[in-house]
Chains A and B, each alone.
Chain A
Amino acid sequence: MTAVADRLRPLTAHRLFWPALVLVVMIAANTVYRPGFLAVEVKNGHLYGTPIDILRLSAPLILVALGMTLVIATGGIDLSVGSLCAISGAIACLHISGAADQNSPATVATALALAFGAALVLGAWNGVLVAVIGIQPIIATLILMVAGRGIAQLVTEGQIITINSGPYRAIGLGHFLTLPLAILIALAAALLVAAFTRRTALGLIVESVGGNAEASRLAGIRSRRIVFLVYVISAVCAALAGFMVTANVSSADGNAAGLWIELDAILAVVIGGTSLAGGRFSLGGTVLGALIIQTLTTTVYAMNISPQTSLLFKAVVVIAVCLVQAPAFRARLRRRRRGAEPGPAAPQREKEQVPA
């Protein structure tokens, strides 16, 4: 037992180990409950099956959570992402619905550009409130979380805008190389953000600002610019997610689009191992976290858990996941277990593990 545990130590110490393990356990549990869970088949040259669905449906959450990761790493939080999804989706759909040819790629491109532009402005608004005026992030972004739903309603004039645009629909439901386009977009975004933060010094500087803002200022870091920038990035990610959410249903509903996605995104970031206190962040962890949450949601549906209890079920699983990941909790479990077995061998064992 011990020898195995020692051999596994470098693996278990990896910061992505616990989120990955949780995901694997969740998939295994699903497979036991429903043996066909992992089955994937090819239809019309596209892959279909529950795992593919999970990937496709998790794409918007991955996008939102990527931006959220950077915001949280600076010690902030962005509650407005759900509203931003709704606004960007509404603007894009409004433009397409008014166009003569809804299937024209030019129309869709203009729609996306308009919506991205709006997201940049709104992200800058958040950034100014937090970085320049110095309002606490939770309050600053709460403004747009609430007001943003109103803005989305204004854009759609209180109606649900339905469109019939092939190119736009493809963002949510299209396929490329047999895989859903949505997950490829999310994957590309993840790689882009990773390159943007880790190939430049942005990641280090974000972690430094989140880890100790005053020390960073005295080291000459322009914290304000960096904080401003992450809120803009978060808004752009949210806009992209908004396109997917509305493209999935070919309609924009100012009330429902992206509702509560900010909470799932925060959860994904935390499950992925980034501390809400700011500092070190892990984009890989965030992607795993988003997949865990989407798998959980799918599981709830698949297991026919009644809607009244599904939220409770989800909450219990999330608490368990967070506990399993907490080193303090694991240490306590281990101590209890060690207390139960015959004692004297224990300190001896610890000594053997001492690296030279």
Chain B
Amino acid sequence: MTGNRPVLTMTGISKTFPGVRALHDVDFRLFPGEVHALMGENGAGKSTLIKVLTGVYGTDAGVVTLDGEQVSFTGPMQAAAAGVSTVYQEVNLCTNLSVAENVFIGREPRRLGAVRWGEMRRRARDLLARLDLDLDVSAPLGSYSLAVQQMVAIARAIDVQAQVLILDEPTSSLDAGEVAQLFRIMRQLRDEGIAILFVTHFLDQVYGIADRITVLRNGRLVGEYRTEELPQFSLVEKMIGQELDVLERLDEQQKRATVDAGGEAPLVDAAELGRRGAVAPFSLRIHAGEVVGLAGLLGSGRTEVARLIFGADRADHGQVRLDGGRAPVRNPMQAIAQGVGFCSENRRAEGIVPELSVRENMILAMQAARGWLRPIPRRRQDELVRRYVEALSIRPANPELPVRNLSGGNQQKVLLARWLITEPRLLILDEPTRGIDVGAKAEIQKLVVQLSDGGMAVLFISAELEEVLRLSHRVAVMRDREMVAQLDNDDTLDADRVMRTIASGTPREEVTR
């Protein structure tokens, strides 16, 4: 499959940001007709390498060649014109424009300067048909799911006669079926001779599709391997650069015993809570020290449940109360005042404030709760921030850096710290481990267990069933915007049964509490 001459080489690439050495003397090559996985932990330099390749960043040192000729792109547009197209981790399209416009934005088919709309729609349809997508190309992109938007981004990327297609974590928001569809498309493109650079955190996916693997660690090259010659275990070891006991420990961990709630009143009592168009009325009780997992497919209403409980969206049915008596939660302020924290799945839009520093992002929720007239003394801020930077091993450990300079996983940890600082009684975690590396993932999972052992209630949302099952005392299953079951996580519960519940809407033996 692999040609004997690489279509793309990068040699001796170095790149430094203020306070961060992102890449140090990294080599990379890509052959036509292969899927090449770029692996590494958060902050290993994967995204930076891609941005250097496509000209988003300049290099401090190093040479890039395409087709044997030295190139130095000044930006993604120029790179794409030369045949190097990129689909980024977070979908960078305009949701208010139509599907067709998004595919052709910046290079619309024109005649005498006027856009040929009919031609554009026809070509968009053809292109999407190649990816087996049947969409209304005149509809706004925002009317489709994130997964479909991702496919549209890929369609846009391959339309420009791409030789090299870069997929930066394209699967992080897709469900299993959509991943399969994406892989089919990737294989098809690979067989057409396109070289695909694939970045992901899902190890199974790497072994499902990649021909070759390059591993980075701390901005340095660890090595390049053929997939069949690198067992999964060694891959993880090379990524984190140490003996792999964290993961093993988590695998050995036993099922979590059900919290014996007895007659104790629940901490959180959501009664017939619902919102038209978002999620059908549901009732959910969570006790102190209990982890409730929310399972379900993408778009099944998991996030909507979390937002209603936090008051981020206004419920038009039912109410949430904490500790029985007090006033129901109607907005985030009230939720926080009563001890609820909410880590949104949408880190960029609903989580971080990019230009503020790590410290400022961390103390934001606590400061908001105190009101602006009572600033947190700087000494106390520094102390809190130092404690959580250490506890969550946030890198780089400089609290005065703008948070946008951190990698995705570290931004996630900053958000987690923002809520831990408020010492919540209920912590809602919506996809806290999405798009972050194995090491950080294990750390966050361990943290959830510790927190619940310490008496905190946790509502844990994840697309990964294993993770939900590993951490939860109880699993609530979502299906088509409805909570169809709440299952005790005892010996009889496994991924298979949860899957069947998601598929059929009824568990084999429904447990009601």
Binding site for B on A (CB under 8 A): 199-202, 204-205, 207-208, 211-212, 214-222, 226, 279-280, 347, 350-351, 354-355
Contact = CB atoms under 8 A, between A and B. Distances in A.
Given A212-B352, A218-B312, A355-B19, A201 B333 contact: no
B45 interface: no
30 contacts: A199-B375, A200-B373, A201-B370, A201-B371, A201-B373, A201-B374, A204-B356, A204-B372, A204-B375, A205-B368, A207-B356, A207-B360, A208-B364, A212-B349, A215-B344, A215-B353, A217-B312, A217-B332, A218-B312, A218-B350, A220-B333, A220-B369, A221-B364, A221-B368, A222-B368, A279-B355, A350-B16, A350-B60, A351-B61, A354-B21
Given A207-B356, A350-B60, A354-B21, A219 B372 contact: no
A215 B368 contact: no
Interface of B: 14, 16, 19, 21, 60-61, 310, 312, 332-333, 335-337, 342, 344, 349-356, 360, 364-365, 367-376, 418
Given A220-B369, A347-B61, 4 more contacts: A215-B350, A218-B332, A222-B368, A354-B21
Nearest to B20: A355
Nearest to A226: B372
Interface centre among A201, A207, A279, A355 (most CB of B within 10 A): A201
A219 B414 CA distance: 13
Contact of A347 (B60, B333, B374): B60
Sorted from nearest, which 9 A-B pairs have the closest CB atoms?
Answer: A220-B368, A220-B336, A211-B353, A201-B375, A221-B368, A201-B372, A212-B353, A219-B365, A202-B372
B364 A219 contact: yes
Contacts of A216: 353, 364, 368
Given A204-B360, A280-B355, A219 B375 contact: no
A212 B21 contact: no
B392 to A, nearest CB: 18
B355 A220 contact: no
B333 A215 contact: no
Contacts of B369: 220
B61 A350 contact: yes
A220 B365 contact: yes
A218 B342 contact: yes
Contacts of A200: 372-375
A55 to B, nearest CB: 32
Contacts of A220: 332-333, 335-337, 365, 368-369
Contact of A218 (B14, B61, B344, B374): B344
Contacts of B333: 220, 222
A78 B353 CA distance: 23
B349 A214 contact: yes
Contacts of A355: 19
B349 A215 contact: yes
Interface centre among B333, B350, B353 (most CB of A within 10 A): B353
Contacts of A279: 353, 355-356
Contacts of B349: 212, 214-215
A201 B367 contact: yes
B354 A212 contact: yes
Contacts of A221: 364, 368
Contacts of B371: 201
B120 to A, nearest CB: 31
A354 B16 contact: yes
B19 A215 contact: no
Nearest to B24: A354
A59 to B, nearest CB: 28
A201 B381 CA distance: 12
Contacts of B335: 220
A259 to B, nearest CB: 34
A351 B332 CA distance: 48
B206 to A, nearest CB: 32
B398 to A, nearest CB: 11
A201 B350 contact: no
Contacts of B337: 220
Contacts of A208: 353, 356, 360, 364
A204 B367 contact: yes
